[in-house]
Structures are given as structure tokens and as C-alpha cells.
Structure 1
Amino acid sequence: MRARVLVALEPVVLACVPVALALAAFFQLDQTALLTFAVAVGALAVFFAGWEASSPALRQVMPAAVLGALAAAGRILFAPVPDVKPVSAICILAGAVFGRRCGFMAGALAALTSNFFFGQGAWTPWQMYAWGLVGYLAGVLAEHGAFETREGEPRRAAVCGYGFLSALLYGALLNTWTLVGFVHPLTWEAALLTYGAALPFDLVHAVSTVAFLLVIYAPWKKKLDRVKTKYALK
């Protein structure tokens, strides 16, 4: 019963994070960095609690753990190249093959573990949430057939289109947190400067995500689908 309640709350809790950012920006509340940080941590806590309450078997945990580790390793490997990272692509793959919850866990774990190399900080929960959301939404779209034809062939345009937009979504979440939490007073000029300065980096992230998807999505998905079928993974 507890697990079902937590699972049902997941979409609501995940939606609360951008809503909290919007409300903090609109009302220009004091201590917005701390307040929005608490909301992001709370959303992660509910999601992890729901995952734990469902008592997943080891074979159900392994895809999220392995893909999260691969994403973290890829982020570290490409560290010398700013914003060229395979993390979003691997999160999308995790969500598309193993479902929304696996996609979220892979993204959250990738951010958490790779930040032991890059450095932990107040940004870590936001990166966990943002990359987790990329994987979660990929799972939702895959469940509705957005990424495959009826014959089971990948819709490359849809996958790459989502990859491009999801990378921009990731950047928008992190940029908005920076703007709302640390820029006072909050003005349109400050917002334009913040988003404008970040746009080239976000576009590099978006284009590189598409490039990684073009390389890994079809072959990796084919192999992961076999693993999913062999071990009856959901």
C-alpha cells in the first residue's frame, strides 16, 4: 500500500520542483536558494522512498545501477570537453528500455556518483533531479509509443528530437535555479543575461546528446531489449 501511494505521488512530486521555482521567481521570496533546494531534495527523497518501498529484486536494480555508472563514467571521460556529455543520452536509453523509474534512477545516480569526481555541492540534487527527469520523461514517451513504430523500429527523429529538447530542459532547470536562488533583485535584464550566457553551452549539450543518441541508441537498445526479455525485467 505504501509503495503504491509513493508511486502515485511521483508525477506530482516531480512537477512540484519547477512549480516551486516559478513561484519563488514570481513572489521573489527570501531564502529562495534554500527553499527550492529543499523542494528538490524532497522530490528525490519521495522518489527513492517509492523505489525502496517497492522492494525491487536485484535483477531489477541492476539496469539502473549499471546504466547510471556508465553515464557517470562517460561524464568523467568527456570532462575535458565542456558540455559534451553522454549522460542525457544514456538516461533516455534507460527510460526507453526499462521504464520511467529506471530512467530517473539512472540519471540521479549518474549525477551523484560523478560528482564525487567533479565535486559535491548544492547543485548536486538539482543535477540529480534534472537528469532523472530526462530519463523519466523518456520512459513516459516510450510507454506511449513515441520512440518506436508498430513494427518495433526506432523513430530516430523522435528520439533525437527529444534528446535535443531534454538537454535544453536540463539546462533550463539548472539556469533557473541559479537565477532564482542567487540573483537578487530578480529582473528581466538579469534573466536575459543569465539565460543568454548559458545558451551556447546548453546548445552544445543538446547537439552532443543527439550525436550520442545517433551512435548508441539503436545498437544498445537492441542488446538491452534482449537482456530485458531474457531476465523478464519490467
Structure 2
Amino acid sequence: MTSVIPNVQPITAILLIVTLNIGVAPAMIIGSLSIMITNFYLGMGIWTIAQILAFAIIILLTGLLSKLPRKFLLVEVVLGFVMSLLYGLLVSAMLAPFFGIKQFWPYYLAGLSFDVMHGIGTAVFYVLLKKPLVKMFQRYQKIEKSE
């Protein structure tokens, strides 16, 4: 997805909301398809695999953390920010060898501002999207149960 602000898009927030409210499997499907479709549009490369794997790891970790009590929205927003930073770290770690990067930490730190933008964007999108998406999921589950 393209955005006016680099590395700010709603997909990470959506995947976390889906994981916490519907489950890991639907989030994996949505995450993989969104990366594939986006990269068909923007350009496919070795980074596609890294992005899919990074989202898979984040979804699995979020699935494990979903067992913990979630009383406050702030906890989920902080989770979104941290998972966004982890996503950037994972993608960088997977791609560095393919780009011949010998010094990982300077490479990673050079792009950290993009990861922070991703984290802030995820936090904002999480706050904006949680309520409508959860309401939509609940409505769908009611329709599914009545059929």
C-alpha cells in the first residue's frame, strides 16, 4: 500500500484486531493475501517472503498474548506499536543477508525511523479501527449462528 507518510498503513492494526477477536488462522490468511496482492501492485521481490514471514510471527505472538487479560485499549495500542517495531526488525534481519549487509545494527538503526512511523501509524489505526471492526465481526458471527 502506498501512503503519504512513509510506512504508515492500516494492515498491521487490522491483523492484530483480527487475531485478537477472530483468531490466528483468519489473520494469517488476511496477512498473506494482503502482502501478495499489495506486492503484485507495488512490486514483487524477496522482501515479499520476509514480509509474509514477519507478519506470521507477529500474528502467532499476538495469538499467544491474546490469552492474557485485555482490560484497557492502551495495552492493545502499545502491543500494536511494539509489534510494528518487531515487524521492522524481523524484515530487516531476513533481508540483510540477501542485500550483502555485513553490519546489521547500523543497517537496522538507519531505518528505525520508518519502523517508529509504522508503530505510530499502527497505534492510530488501531484506535480508529478497533470498534468498527469488532462490531462488524460480532454482526457477522450473529448472522452465521442464525443460519
Q: TM-score range by the shorter chain?
A: 0.7 to 0.9
Residue in 2 aligned with 1:107?
A: 31
Contact 2:13/2:126 (<8 A) preserved? yes
Tell me the percent identity.
Answer: 26
Residue 134 of structure 1 pairs with residue 47 of structure 2? no
- C-alpha deviation, 1:130, in angstroms: 1.4
Runs of 4+ in 1 over 3 A off after TM superposition: none
Q: What's the Cα RMSD here? A: 1.8
Structure of higher CA gyration radius:
1
The change in CA–CA distance for 1:109 and 1:146 in structure 2 (over 3 A counts) is farther
Equivalent AA in structure 2 for residue 210 of structure 1: A
Q: Retained in 1: the 8 A contact 2:47–2:95?
A: no
Question: Residue 84 of structure 1 corresponds to which residue in structure 2?
Answer: 8
CA displacement at 1:137 relative to structure 2: 2.8
Give the aligned partner of residue 129 of structure 2: 216
Identify the match of residue 41 of structure 2 among 97, 117, 121: 117
Match of 2:96 in 1: 179
For residues 140 and 230 of structure 1, the distance between their equivalents in structure 2, rounded to whole angstroms, comes to 28
Alpha-carbon distance, 1:145 to partner: 4.1
- Contiguous gaps of at least 5 residues in structure 2: none
- Whichever residue aligns with residue 40 of structure 2, its letter is F
1:11-30 residue pairs with structure 2 within 5 A?
A: none
Structure 1 counterpart of 2:63, one-letter code: G
Pairing 1:1-12 to 2, within 5 Å after superposition:
none
Which structure exhibits the higher relative contact order, with contacts defined as CA atoms closer than 8 Å and separated by 6 or more residues?
A: 2
Cα drift, residue 230 of structure 1: 2.8
How many positions carry a matched residue from both structures? 145
Taking the TM superposition and a 5 Å limit, the aligned residue runs for 1:160-179 are 160-179=77-96
How far 1:98 moved relative to its partner? 1.3
What TM-score do the two structures reach when normalised by structure 1?
Answer: 0.57
